[in-house]
């Protein structure tokens, strides 16, 4: 998994995979700012006492991940409709068996309530954890230059993406399927937003002897095919036209891929499209009404802002700076930040809509970090310090 946002990753909280540092949920991606990383690396080499506890914690966590075995799409028990386990498959999380029919079909929607049956297709469970681990290992390599971390990160990448026996086919034809309704949906494309973590990880280990020029060539080729599928398939086109956070996350991941494969013209177009979305989806107060309508409206309000946050970080590599852009109708990313800050820092209790389960405030740390670095909001970072309490010194965000 901001997720400074987009150069990916503070490491996040995924299921039971907890290590010592405060983690972010898989809904939150941190994009890495490589200039900042370079400066932090110099400070770590000088054993800066303000950074060294977080650095030691990073290495401790990365050491544990050396025992994490590679996973692949071949781990499914059931086959996708294609009959090819190389095809990724997941079930739509908010769709449940129909109690009105004997076979449970067609499934019915219960917004915000996750059907435990989704775990029967472990691709969706494995992938975000894998992407997180790749990124964390890559960060450990970058700061320490210890090849063992790059070696394991490279192995994890190759098993999921490149090895002929285990690689994922570059499509999402069967993402977030709804039994009895559709084999795959546009909504399934949001699953692979985690690939942004992988791209950052690759950029961190590209100097390692364990990531070869051939690996880089094959990985760029894989992502080029995947990006083409995202842009040309009916499912991809549907997701591109989604009016809510799904469309924004579509832009975030296609932008990350376009920049990775050196397609600068496409990257410029994607940032402009994201700016247009901001103009349409944001209200005059800085909120996003379609997200406020969800049963977990606080979560989704942060979720869409994280997507824009990722795009803004990546936009620095394009001709459009989304951080400072103001649309013709006065919409802006800074307005969205201002709207959410009182709630993310607990100065106000959320009143924007339903929130049927508690919100995890560390999930908002990436937004607060970006508010500090891009909009000079020092109180935002002060909140992180006070909220994290004694764990603050070891937070990975200190290194980002």
Total domains in the fold of the chain: 1
The CATH code of the domain that includes 264 is 1.50.10.100
pLDDT in tens, 187-198: 889 989 999 999
- 135 SS3 class: helix
Kind of pairing, strands 108-109 and 95-96? antiparallel
Helix axes 123-144, 34-45, angle to 10 degrees: 50
Q: Give the C-alpha distances (Å, rounded to integers) separating 296 from 111, 265, 308, 353.
A: 9, 36, 19, 8
What span, in angstroms and rounded, lies between the C-alpha atoms of 205 and 139?
A: 8
Q: Does residue 2 sit within a domain?
A: no
Does the pTM surpass 0.85? The reply is yes
**Residue 128 sits in which domain range?**
12-399
Report the alpha-carbon distance of residue 293 to residue 295 in Å, rounded: 7
The answer to whether position 1 is within a domain reads no
Which distant-in-sequence residues (6+ apart) come within 8 Å of 69 by Cβ?
Answer: none
Let me know if residue 6 belongs to a domain. no
Q: What integer pLDDT is reported at residue 28 of this predicted model? A: 53
Nearest to 400 by CA among 372, 361, 363: 372
**Rounded-to-integer distance, Cα 305 and Cα 42, Å:** 31
Q: For residue 3, is it within any domain? A: no
Residue 220 lies in a domain: yes
Residue 218 falls inside a structural domain:
yes
Average pLDDT, consecutive stretches of 10 residues, N- to C-terminus, the chain (400 residues): 35 30 48 94 97 96 97 92 95 93 96 88 93 96 98 98 98 94 93 94 98 98 98 98 97 98 98 98 98 96 96 97 97 98 97 94 92 95 93 92
pLDDT confidence of residue 17: 31
Strand-pair partners of 174? 89
Task: Evaluate whether residue 5 is within a structural domain.
Answer: no
Q: Is residue 292 part of a domain?
A: yes
Three-state secondary-structure class, residue 313: helix
H/E element holding 177? strand 174-177
Q: What pLDDT does residue 10 have?
A: 32
Q: E strands along 41-135, which residues?
A: 89-91, 95-96, 108-109
Q: For strand 174-177 and strand 108-109, is the pairing parallel, antiparallel, or unpaired? A: unpaired
Q: What is the pLDDT of residue 234?
A: 97
């Amino acid at each position: 998994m901001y997720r400074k946002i987009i150069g990916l990753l503070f490491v996040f909280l995924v299921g039971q995979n907890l290590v010592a540092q405060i983690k972010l949920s898989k809904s939150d991606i941190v994009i890495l700012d490589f200039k900042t990383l370079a400066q932090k690396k110099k400070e770590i080499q000088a054993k800066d006492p303000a950074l060294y506890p977080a650095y030691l914690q990073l290495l401790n966590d990365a050491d544990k991940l050396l025992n994490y075995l590679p996973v692949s799409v071949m781990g499914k028990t059931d086959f996708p409709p294609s009959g090819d386990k190389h095809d990724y498959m997941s079930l739509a999380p908010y769709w449940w068996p129909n109690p009105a029919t004997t076979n449970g079909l067609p499934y019915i929607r219960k917004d915000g309530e996750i059907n435990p049956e989704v775990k029967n297709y472990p691709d969706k469970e494995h992938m975000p954890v894998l992407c997180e681990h790749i990124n964390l290992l890559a960060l450990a390599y970058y700061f320490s230059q210890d090849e063992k971390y790059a070696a394991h990160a490279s192995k994890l990448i190759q098993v999921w993406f490149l090895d002929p026996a285990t690689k994922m086919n570059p499509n999402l034809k069967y993402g977030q399927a709804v039994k009895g309704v559709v084999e795959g949906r546009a909504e399934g494309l949001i699953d692979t937003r985690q690939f942004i973590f992988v791209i950052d990880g690759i950029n961190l280990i590209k100097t390692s002897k364990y990531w070869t020029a051939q690996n880089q060539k094959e990985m760029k080729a894989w992502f080029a095919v995947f990006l083409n599928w995202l842009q040309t398939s009916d499912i991809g086109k549907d997701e591109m036209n989604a009016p809510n956070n799904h469309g924004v996350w579509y832009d975030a991941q296609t932008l990350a891929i376009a920049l990775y494969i050196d397609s600068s013209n496409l990257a410029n177009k994607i940032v402009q499209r994201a700016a247009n979305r901001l103009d349409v989806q944001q209200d005059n107060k800085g909120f996003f009404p379609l997200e406020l309508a969800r049963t977990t409206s606080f979560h989704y309000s942060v979720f869409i802002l994280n997507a824009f946050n990722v795009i803004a970080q990546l936009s620095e590599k394009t001709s459009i700076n989304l951080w400072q852009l103001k649309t013709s109708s006065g919409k802006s990313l800074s307005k969205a930040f201002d709207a959410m800050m009182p709630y993310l820092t607990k100065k106000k209790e959320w009143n924007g809509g339903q929130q049927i389960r508690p919100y995890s405030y560390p999930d908002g740390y990436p937004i607060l970090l970006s508010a500090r670095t891009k909009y000079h909001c020092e109180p935002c970072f002060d909140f992180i310090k006070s909220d994290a309490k004694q764990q603050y010194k070891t937070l990975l965000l200190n290194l980002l």
